């Protein structure tokens, strides 16, 4: 299976961001990708207004996703990204959505909000309260995570024990001392914790690192981007998953149940 990972700098104009997403969807489909993973919080960003993502929140039937769903009708590509969806006045949920054949086939609100490194996502964003579902794409099962969820190994482990073969992670990983190191280390750790592929897309504006990656079940980075806009292509191999789980049977050798998320 070919997977695509798109990264770009989100603008303050949701129409422009939708156009960029549609272009990446079309390009991925032309290259026979079965899956495209896009970054986190794609409606709008502005370096001078950190609240713009929430201020620009749209319903799942809003204009942004309507444009992406129209493109989705033209192929069998599965596209994964996150947008802010309004909840109460001035607040929203950071919602991961899965698009396929013109429909939203799954969604979940980000569980772990980024209240760290002097940022407080929970100030305007409500956390989700449901563990995300697994998504089947051509017989490979994908577990869903969002950005800061990566720092919580029990989430990845719960998804793997539920049957995930790969983990998908839209992100907007904020720049800062050691943050690139954290990103690379945690992506590799989650792959090794679970013997899953990890497919991670990063927003690459002025405040976020980009650095999208695909990591295989034995912790090998098989595709990587830098700080500029990019579209990565990588192959997910069922036999590589099976080999990793024969050589490193950590899921089978566990002596303790993972902690419950909720």
Q: Which residues participate in catalysis according to the annotation? A: 40, 110, 147
- 3-state SS assignment for residue 10: coil
Number of C-beta neighbours around residue 104 at 10 A = 16
Strands 103-109 and 115-116: what pairing? unpaired
Assess contact for 41 and 94: CB atoms under 8 A: yes
Strand 197-202, strand 213-215: pairing: antiparallel
| Contact status, residue 127 vs residue 116, Cβ threshold 8 Å | no
Residue partners of 44: CB distance under 8 A and separation at least 6: 10, 11, 12, 13, 14, 17, 52, 53, 55, 56
Residues near 201 by beta carbon (within 8 Å), at least 6 away in sequence: 5, 6, 7, 37, 38, 39, 40, 169, 170, 171, 212
Q: Are strands 140-144 and 166-171 parallel, antiparallel or unpaired?
A: parallel
């Amino acid at each position: 299976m070919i997977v695509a990972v798109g990264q770009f700098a989100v603008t303050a104009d949701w129409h422009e961001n939708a156009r960029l997403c549609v272009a990446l969807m079309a390009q991925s489909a032309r290259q026979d990708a079965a899956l495209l993973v896009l970054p986190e919080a794609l409606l709008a960003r502005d370096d001078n207004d950190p609240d713009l993502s929430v201020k620009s929140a749209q319903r799942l039937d809003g204009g942004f996703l309507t444009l992406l769903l129209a493109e989705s009708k033209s192929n069998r590509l599965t596209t994964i990204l996150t947008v802010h969806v309004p909840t109460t006045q001035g607040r929203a949920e950071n919602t991961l959505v899965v698009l396929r054949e013109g429909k939203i086939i799954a969604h979940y609100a980000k569980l772990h909000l980024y209240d760290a490194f002097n940022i407080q996502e929970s100030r305007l964003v409500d956390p989700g309260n449901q563990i995300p579902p697994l998504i089947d794409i051509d017989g490979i099962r994908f577990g869903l995570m969002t950005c800061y969820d990566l720092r919580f190994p029990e989430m990845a482990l719960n998804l793997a024990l539920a049957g995930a073969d790969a983990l998908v992670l839209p992100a907007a990983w904020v720049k800062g001392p050691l943050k690139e190191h954290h990103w690379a280390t945690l992506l590799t750790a989650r792959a090794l914790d679970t013997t899953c592929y990890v497919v991670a897309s990063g927003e690459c504006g002025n405040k976020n690192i980009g650095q999208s990656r695909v990591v295989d079940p034995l912790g090998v980075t098989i595709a990587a981007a830098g700080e500029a806009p990019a579209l990565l292509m990588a192959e997910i191999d069922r036999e590589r998953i099976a080999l990793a789980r024969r050589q490193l049977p950590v899921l089978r050798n566990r002596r303790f149940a993972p902690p419950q998320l909720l």
